[in-house]
Structure 1
């Protein structure tokens, strides 16, 4: 075998540092002597010694040296070079390739080495059919004793022979001219494929396996805080109740509601939960995803515990509450799944454009591609959800179904959504102060402190949210174009309409030039009392206030849409001047005893009211997503007229009777 010296010149190509090593002591004595002689000659060649000198001093022919170097430079099937492994006597660096035609063997078995591989090379259809036998799980792998055994191989062999006949192979052709008709070759090939490919073997055995992307921690896992975060939603296996009303004797009238969703964002490097959100809807939507991201950016405060027996660990806390420098800090990359709420245009705009990070969408139905947030959900399930009276354990489904069918099963022991949110806040607070096995015994807050302070590493530089977005969180949502309506001749001042409600402000009424123009309206889905509008030139106007009863009480976009949907379907007898939220709540309470979805609607309204009470008492910017620089009372007071109010003459058109 001739090798070009220029290709294997030691100063250019040959680098023995990349060659896998071999323990010569493990070889037999005769093979060890040959291996050491070959390795010494190759090392001398790599150091720049001439082939004539090597042949004279070591006694290794120059052709053998070049052949050994060429063998060591060939790629191994494990992804590395053959290296010194190619210098071991009788080591095959290339598979055997048969050139001669197979012999007819009807009585013996020997003499046709490589004939089966030759057949597969001539007919790629046979090769693909045998691969499909494993990928489509027509041939399965099952444990047998201390090893494994293939099942349904006879069916695969019958289909293999049928394909051979369809390709035109007759009785005088291989494999039909052999004694065993290549039966053993098919079985050996299938087993060899499973031994070489672990994922294929696990697929054939029906076992659940982690994808290769989940195992590339050195490539994908972030070693720095706020570099990579994971986001996902989890449906809590927990029975919850809704308190409809209390009777004068102190009794509770409760109904059971549907299970709810927990959405969370966790930092990969420190395992800190940056933000979370409870969604009481039947399915998560894009507004829930954006609300979770918003909570991860805005500052948090110490939770107020009202349930007896709850206690916060002194070592725990929230990230933005413990480290003020992390407030409004953005991450570089976020890992998501392929849920529709995540793939929505609004969610992608917030992730990629507004926050300036990249989105890594993992494969469908592969939760192990986001192992950290999935593990956090498992911790919440075992430490919180299943320890409550309404917890549902999938391992004991029969017991759970029996409890559901038991007429004596009392709903009084179940928790409400408000109590669950308080328990969840306490659990996450204590989770941050508990030593974590994945962090070497450090707590998540201690790991975050080391990253921020630069202990044993360089301090990180945080990228913060734009100041305009800090002041106006509504800008995180995509705008809605609304036309400014009004008529100066009729005395109708400028206003816009959004979801059947008029919005206006003192500034907008004094801008008649905006009549007929379209404003970019940014809405906070959790509070529709005010909206933020910008002109076509980018000017941010004062907050526009809702008219009528929709201005007094905090309500979400879902609540208003559900109210007008019930009104269109003639389910509501709503009169002018009546509180629309109370009317809708009274309707859903009547239906809650028969429909769990109605019970969820009641729970959502109650949840919004409890959040408004906490927001009024604590002014928490996390729960008050309508924070726009001024509180709502201040905005209202700023837009009230100052001084005496002049009466205006009432104009009655002719022919009208009032």
Structure 2
């Protein structure tokens, strides 16, 4: 925006602000030199409703901006002697050869009477060629474009940029083109929590995870080359409002559900396992800043067509908690959801790529660790601490276009009280935090007694025996990530059957849907038969045997560890791999619980240096 355009905009904005404060038209005219009729015209433009359903606002005060998307391009506008909206389209309708010439000039950079492209053409040169072509067609004042103050330059430039954008989209696939029109054409959000983006990203790591053996055989080393980060990002402020991690080939609907839940429930700092690092003031997810930012619902949730996003498990949970509108887009289209991709890029460049054991962003990346270089061996708690620190430190960075942090943008938006934010009702918050799976099932029978078979296990409870004629009834099952206890509601009248407990062989060890799905796959492949007193532990023992003997199922074992582990103190080490024995450990922390200091001969921890480096990188 030039200096003259900026002054014109500020003069119009001052007139609108004075009118909203109750000033008279005479006072406004003395202060801004704008007449009463012109101020009324500006008010009508600013209060017009945009295609997104909100008023246009100050955008209508910019010079050369149109607020009405659909207009009649009558040929009478050319000879009206005024620059009316749609006059350029009417001119192109009357002279189609002129439109074809200007399209080649703008898009292909090919001037008239030339076959070679000139990529040095500026908009000033393009406008001069446009006026020259009008003169050749016999168009003279006061016809358009010569009746305009800019001689049609603003309209020509806007039309040209639109043609360039449409041409770039047409070069891609038809799916991406439709996505561009549907998403980018909607414009940015006008307020916070109007739009949230969610996606999963495979971190560029090649680390080794320590898994304690169930049989007392020491430590099992599992290579982790795929760690999925599922994050939710609020578009207006750019803040990460929730996340979850998944170890495996791909993430599933339960992982996305955990990420949505973390955006609602107030965040709590982790008990960090390394004494040399800690949370800095203000480092948290937004829902922990103030009570008004917890359990906030968002209007739109933008996501792609991944199977985990299309699953009934996730969509049902989304409807029953946040009640946001899912806006689906195509896979592998980062331009449709650029903000969440920016978050993943920052996490990679300022965090993961700074550590040994990274695979880099491409095969020739010099930061890529080789086979003979040092790599990390770490326990699961250290891995979770690292990701949590990276996420919360990202939120303390400066938000784009402001001078305050991303968390502070959301905090001030709530404190201003200019918008009414939807929040999860108080009576539904317990269900929101307690249950993440909502699924229909049917009550069966076992030896004449009613029983519920769900997810390859049997459930029983007093509620099944306090009602009559329950066999064959449809019920709604509500469960958390841990499937040992569920709550059942009859669909016909909404009466609750209370909590049901899983059969004894599933009851002792925490487990999720993933464990039962993996078990069913093993039974199908004749690799495991479930005859054990504790099936989840038996599954893990079977996987441990596969890892030790054949080196397979390492990611599966790491995921089972996360489901079953207790919150114990762990430490992170930098080691060099060896072919025969487990790698040696260097940089070990001194085990002093009172002073939490390093021993004199130990090296400083690499994670500590990384976290110190992030303070400036994220800003």
Please report the TM-score for the alignment, with normalisation by the length of structure 1.
Answer: 0.59
Counterparts of 2:343 and 2:278, CA distance in 1: 21
Separation in structure 2 between the aligned mates of residue 392 and residue 446 of structure 1, nearest angstrom? 34
1:145-544 paired onto structure 2 within 5 Å:
197-199=163-165, 202=168, 211=180, 219-224=187-192, 226-245=193-212, 252-352=219-319, 354-395=321-362, 397=364, 403=370, 406=371, 408-409=372-373, 411=375, 413-432=376-395, 434-454=396-416, 458=418, 460-465=420-425, 467-468=427-428, 470-471=430-431, 473=433, 476-487=436-447, 493-524=449-480, 526-535=481-490, 536-544=492-500
Q: What do residues 84-138 of structure 1 show as CA deviations (whole Å, max 9, x unaligned)? A: xxxxxxxxx835978xxxxxxxxxxxxxxx9x789x99xxxxxx9x99x98xxxx
Residue 560 (structure 1) aligned with residue 516 (structure 2): yes
What SS does structure 2 have at the residue aligned with 1:220? coil
- 1:201 to partner: Cα distance: 5.9
Q: Matched residue pairs, number?
A: 456
Q: Which runs of 5+ in 1 are unaligned?
A: 1-11, 19-64, 80-92, 99-113, 122-127, 135-140, 149-192, 615-658
Change (3 A) 1:366 1:247: closer
- Write out the 4+ residue segments of structure 1 that deviate beyond 6 Å after TM superposition: 15-18, 141-145, 193-196, 203-206, 246-251, 594-597
Match of 2:151 in 1: none
Q: CA deviation at 1:427?
A: 1.8
Secondary structure, in 3 states, of the residue corresponding to 2:242? strand
1:585 aligned onto 2:540: yes
Please report how far the alpha carbon of residue 542 of structure 1 lies from its aligned counterpart in structure 2 after TM superposition.
1.8
Deviations 1:365-422 (A, max 9, x none): 431222222111111111221122122222453657772xx3x4555x2445442221
Structure 2 residue aligned with 1:599: 554
Q: Secondary structure at the match of 1:543?
A: strand
Change (3 A) 1:76 1:232: farther
1:48-85 superposed Cα distances (whole Å, 9 cap, x missing partner)? xxxxxxxxxxxxxxxxx9985355336244x8xxxxxx
Q: Could you list the per-position Cα deviations for residues 191-215 of structure 1 after superposition, in whole angstroms to 9, with x for gaps in the alignment?
A: xx98873235656999x99957776
Is the contact made by 1:242 and 1:602 (CA closer than 8 Å) also made in structure 2? no
Specify which of 505, 508, 526 is matched with residue 549 of structure 1: 505
Distance change in 2, residues 1:142/1:586 (3 Å): farther
1:604 Cα deviation after fit: 0.6
Classify 1:319/1:597 alpha carbon distance in 2 versus 1 (closer, same or farther; 3 Å): farther
- Taking structure 1 as reference, are residues 575 and 230 closer, same or farther at Cα in structure 2, changes over 3 Å only? closer
What residue number does 1:164 align with? none
Q: Residue 235 of structure 1 aligns to a residue in which SS?
A: strand
5+ residue gaps, structure 2: 1-36, 44-75, 109-114, 123-158, 570-619
CA contact (8 A) 1:451 1:460 kept: no
Distance apart, 1:475 and its partner CA: 5.6
Aligned-pair distance for 1:327? 2.6
Q: What is the alpha-carbon distance in structure 2 between the residues aligned to residue 204 and residue 380 of structure 1?
A: 32
Alpha-carbon contact 2:243-2:263 (below 8 Å) kept = yes
Contact 1:355 1:465 in 2 (8 A): no
Distance 1:284 1:482 in 2: 28
Residue deviations 1:341-367 (CA, integer Å, cap 9, x gap): 223344334435653222223455431
Q: Could you give the per-residue CA deviations for residues 508-541 of structure 1, whole angstroms, max 9, x where no partner exists? A: 23334424433322233x2111111111311222
Q: Say what the alpha-carbon RMSD is for the aligned residues.
A: 4.6
Cα distance 1:595–1:263, how it changes in 2: closer, same or farther (>3 A)?
A: farther
Q: 1:453 to 1:401 in 2, by over 3 A?
A: closer
User: Are the counterparts in 1 of residues 356 and 369 from structure 2 also a CA contact under 8 Å?
Assistant: no
Larger CA deviation: 243-252 vs 438-447: 243-252
Instruction: Sort the Cα spacing of 1:556 and 1:595 in 2 relative to 1 into closer, same or farther, 3 A.
Output: farther
CA contact (8 A) 1:298 1:327 kept: yes
The answer to whether residue 80 in structure 2 is matched with residue 69 in structure 1 is yes
Distance 1:377-1:94 versus aligned 2 partners, 3 A rule: same
Tell me by how many angstroms 1:329 deviates: 2.1
1:487-522 deviation per Cα after TM superposition (whole angstroms, max 9, x unaligned) = 56xxxx432122332211133233344244333222
Q: Which has the higher contact order (CA 8 A, sep 6+)?
A: 2
Q: Please, what TM-score do these two structures have when normalized by structure 2?
A: 0.62
Cα drift, residue 284 of structure 1: 2.5
Counterpart contact for 1:435–1:441, Cα < 8 Å: no
> Whole-Å Cα distance in 2 between the matches of residues 383 and 142 of structure 1?
44
